[in-house]
């Protein structure tokens, strides 16, 4: 028996079909080891930045099962994803299993030929790739822990900084400051609806006057004059197809066309990859394998004709692109639609269209500009712009890439036009737009910040930390994000600059290539960094954001007020706090302090008070944070209890709670018992591992609460 180890159960199932009975395929379910949460135990800096890895909670059973199979196997092959992360997972699995000479196989697509060829030609684990991934992990930990600790003290507990997330936040805030500083200026857009035969075409004035007098004069003369076509310019234009998708362009296009967030796009693409429909979705190379290009050309020839074929090769513009990877493309070009859900089908069709179109002939368009004015003169020209497709070429496959062009009727110079209506619309100049998720991905890629696998995670982290909010795909920085970014820009500008972040990415690439050592990279970074952090430990707290409007007076002492940053956002506080505790909302409404309930805390004897939290009113000890007693509403608590006994302590029962990441279920005996699961328990036990079962989805109504159990994601196993 030969044992093949991959990351996901879905991938394991697909691969097992291709390898035959002599192979057993098992999933590690992602990473099996990681740095512990405590930074003191995570990295031995004096010993040379040696990381200390521990088994990830919940992975003991996975390791035990794989280890048992490995001892019986004639050969163990590690077939995790073909990137640094996949290489690191393979190494960690080998270490956890105690494999002396582990074999490593990689494939860019999960097809029968690709999998069988990769398994038949294994190699050793690439120590340089592992070292590069380890360097990234350790760098991020050192950067995040040291800087986050300082932010906890100077801004608020629970916030964070990151080597890549903080530069991304800085970019968002730089744009926000441009918007705040922007001074709008008025201008007028004058549109004349002119009729030619049966067609009415809107012509727009080529000048935009800034005052009402000039605009009104043009409108008046327009009504009084006789209109005529003064010029018609037509120019042929060829549009070349886009390269096949890489990770960043896939995320951008899926956002603009399908409305998918980058994280959602990657989740859907992951499922398509695991099902064998597309190639690996984390890549920065638009290159196509020769076999893939031949298959695309064959599909174009049979579907559209040989005359539509135009073979092209593509290479990355990024100097650090991993050219060993292919673009994101279908594994079978003749399959026009694939996927088990509507979302998967839409994304697959987008990927398919882009790959096929990349090898097709140019589209030919005719760009048209028609100019008109009044015969009496005295007003600026008016123009109408449009285009029409002369020969569709690759747009036959990817028509949505054309955009919304206007098709103009045939006109010639000297043609008379009839004015139907002319009007001036006052507008103001607009500041630069805030970043959309797609726009931020494009900007990060342009500046060399992060890598394909990190873009979605960066945006998700900014949202999870409360630094940005998302409204219709647009990212808005919060007050907290503003304060944190301002603090970092003022005190650690060098460490969140484009140059530093991109330079670190280059150094990680050099480690992967063997041109640089792990230790040298750590030493060059950490010494100056810790010195910079230590130098800022005595600065004042940064929760004061400036003076309030002078008209806003303290409701208690009638003194001046200042703007403060609190847990739920900004508010107005008396400038003499803590001597005076007067406070107002930003709108000016008085904020009253916690109201005493008349009861005493059973833990410390202090008065219990009513507070307002993120999820409404609750009762807690007035001595918080020294005493963290919270009184539950008996009626509400009874509603949240499930009646399912806690499987860990047996004393409490599982009840619904709400945390920073949403609803979860835990033992009523907390904090003595800290057992918790993500979804509502059903009361049944998993037939495979014995752990508590919980509610699942419409298609899978029940699943195991243990992440390490295959029944945790039974839909991936086809159950």
Q: Do 35 and 42 form a contact (C-beta atoms < 8 A)?
A: yes
- 255 Ramachandran zone, left/alpha/beta (phi>0; psi -120 to 50): alpha
| Pairwise CA distance, residues 241 & 357, whole Å | 6
Helix (H, G, I), strand (E, B) or coil at 42: helix
Helix (H, G, I), strand (E, B) or coil at 672: coil
Where b means 16+ CB within 10 Å and e means fewer, 110-119 reads bbeebbeebb
Q: How far is CA 264 from CA 84, 250, 450, in A?
A: 22, 11, 18
- Across the chain, how many H-helices and E-strands are there? 18, 31
Q: Do 179 and 434 form a contact (C-beta atoms < 8 A)?
A: yes
H helices present in 160-226, as ranges: 165-181, 212-224
Whole-number CA gyration radius for the chain: 31
Q: How far is CA 302 from CA 299, 306, 419, in A?
A: 5, 8, 51
| Pairwise CA distance, residues 194 & 203, whole Å | 7
Catalytic residue among 260, 273, 280, 518: 280
Helix (H, G, I), strand (E, B) or coil at 144: helix
| Pairwise CA distance, residues 461 & 484, whole Å | 14
Nearest to 619 by CA among 627, 629, 634: 629
Query: And the tokens for 496?
Result: 């969140």
Judging by DSSP bridges, how do beta strands 186-196 and 50-51 pair with one another? unpaired
Beta bridge partners of 227: 374, 417
Q: Do 583 and 572 form a contact (C-beta atoms < 8 A)?
A: yes
What burial class does residue 685 get, using C-beta atoms within 10 Å of its C-beta: 0-12 exposed, 13-18 middle, 19+ buried?
Answer: middle
Residue 18 a catalytic site member: no
What burial class does residue 454 get, using C-beta atoms within 10 Å of its C-beta: 0-12 exposed, 13-18 middle, 19+ buried?
Answer: buried
Nearest to 361 by CA among 301, 419, 445, 436: 301
Q: Give the chain's largest Cα–Cα span.
A: 96
| Pairwise CA distance, residues 642 & 675, whole Å | 14
Judging by DSSP bridges, how do beta strands 681-685 and 676-677 pair with one another? unpaired
| Pairwise CA distance, residues 157 & 614, whole Å | 16
DSSP 3-state percent helix, strand, coil across the chain (nearest 5): 35, 25, 40
What burial class does residue 579 get, using C-beta atoms within 10 Å of its C-beta: 0-12 exposed, 13-18 middle, 19+ buried?
Answer: exposed
Does 190 sit behind a cis peptide bond, omega within 30 degrees of 0 on the bond before it?
Answer: no
Query: And the tokens for 380?
Result: 């600026």
**Rounded to the nearest 10 degrees, how much is the dihedral formed by the CA atoms of 15, 21, 23, 26?**
60
Does 67 sit behind a cis peptide bond, omega within 30 degrees of 0 on the bond before it?
Answer: no
| Backbone φ and ψ of 708, nearest 5° | -80, -10
Helix (H, G, I), strand (E, B) or coil at 565: strand
Q: Do 135 and 116 form a contact (C-beta atoms < 8 A)?
A: no
Beta bridge partners of 245: 328
Residues serving a catalytic function are 280
């Amino acid at each position: 028996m030969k044992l093949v180890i991959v990351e996901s159960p879905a991938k394991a199932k697909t691969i097992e079909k291709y390898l035959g009975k002599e192979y057993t395929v098992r999933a590690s379910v992602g990473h099996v080891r990681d740095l512990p949460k405590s930074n003191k135990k995570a990295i031995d800096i004096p010993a040379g930045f040696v990381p200390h890895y521990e088994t990830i909670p919940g992975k003991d059973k996975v390791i035990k099962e794989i280890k048992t199979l490995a001892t019986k196997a004639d050969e163990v092959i590690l077939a995790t994803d073909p990137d640094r992360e996949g290489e690191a997972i393979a190494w960690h699995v080998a270490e956890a299993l105690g494999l002396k000479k582990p074999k490593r196989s990689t494939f860019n697509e999960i097809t029968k030929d690709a999998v069988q060829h990769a398994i038949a030609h294994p190699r050793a684990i690439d120590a340089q790739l592992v070292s590069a991934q380890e360097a990234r992990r350790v760098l991020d930990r050192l950067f995040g822990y040291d800087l986050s600790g300082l932010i906890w003290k100077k801004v608020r507990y629970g916030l964070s900084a990151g080597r890549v997330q903080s530069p991304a936040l800085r970019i968002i805030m730089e744009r926000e400051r441009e918007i705040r500083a922007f001074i709008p200026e008025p201008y007028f857009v004058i549109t004349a609806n002119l009729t030619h035969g049966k067609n009415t075409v809107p012509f727009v004035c080529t000048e935009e006057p800034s005052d009402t007098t000039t605009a009104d004069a043009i409108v008046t003369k327009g009504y009084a004059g006789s209109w005529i076509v003064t010029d018609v310019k037509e120019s042929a234009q060829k549009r070349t197809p886009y390269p096949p998708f890489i990770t960043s362009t896939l995320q951008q296009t899926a956002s603009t066309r399908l409305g998918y967030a980058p994280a959602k796009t990657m989740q859907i693409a992951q499922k398509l990859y695991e099902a064998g429909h597309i190639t690996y979705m984390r890549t920065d190379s638009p290159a196509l394998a020769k076999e893939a290009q031949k298959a695309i050309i064959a599909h174009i020839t049979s579907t559209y004709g040989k005359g539509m074929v135009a073979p092209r090769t593509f290479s990355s513009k990024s100097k650090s692109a991993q050219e060993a990877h292919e673009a994101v493309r279908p594994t079978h070009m003749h399959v026009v639609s694939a996927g088990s859900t509507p979302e998967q089908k839409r994304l697959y069709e987008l990927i398919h269209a882009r790959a096929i179109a990349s090898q097709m002939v140019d589209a030919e368009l005719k760009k048209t500009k028609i100019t008109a004015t009044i015969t009496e003169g005295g007003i600026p020209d008016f123009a109408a712009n449009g285009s029409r497709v002369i020969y569709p070429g690759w747009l036959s496959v990817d028509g949505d890439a054309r955009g919304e062009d206007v098709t103009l009727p045939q006109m010639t110079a000297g043609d008379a036009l009839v004015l139907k209506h002319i009007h001036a619309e006052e507008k103001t100049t607009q500041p630069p737009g805030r970043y959309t998720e797609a726009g931020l991905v494009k900007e990060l890629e342009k500046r060399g910040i992060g890598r394909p696998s990190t873009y979605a995670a960066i945006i998700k982290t900014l949202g999870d930390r409360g630094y940005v909010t998302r409204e219709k795909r647009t990212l808005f920085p919060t007050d907290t994000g503003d304060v944190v970014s301002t603090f970092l820009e003022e005190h650690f500008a060098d460490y969140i600059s484009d140059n530093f972040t991109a330079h670190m990415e280059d150094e990680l690439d050099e480690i992967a290539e063997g041109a640089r050592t792990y230790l040298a990279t750590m030493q060059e970074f950490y010494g100056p960094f810790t010195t910079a952090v230590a130098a800022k430990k005595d600065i004042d707290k940064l929760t004061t954001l400036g003076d309030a409007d002078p008209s806003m007076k303290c409701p208690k002492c009638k003194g001046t007020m200042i703007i403060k940053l609190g847990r739920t956002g900004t508010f107005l506080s008396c400038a003499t706090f803590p001597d005076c505790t007067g406070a107002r909302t930003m709108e000016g409404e008085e904020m009253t302090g916690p109201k005493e309930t008349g009861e005493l805390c059973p833990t410390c004897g202090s008065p219990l008070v009513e507070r307002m939290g993120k999820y409404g009113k609750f009762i807690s000890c007035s001595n918080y944070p020294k005493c963290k007693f919270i009184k539950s509403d008996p009626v509400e608590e009874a509603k949240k209890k499930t009646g399912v006994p806690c499987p860990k302590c047996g004393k409490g029962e599982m009840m619904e709670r709400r945390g920073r990441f949403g609803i979860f279920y835990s033992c009523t005996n907390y904090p003595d018992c800290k057992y918790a699961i993500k979804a509502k328990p059903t009361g049944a036990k998993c037939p495979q591992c014995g752990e508590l079962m919980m509610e699942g989805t419409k298609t899978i109504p029940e699943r195991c609460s243990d992440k390490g159990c295959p029944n945790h994601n039974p839909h991936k196993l086809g159950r």
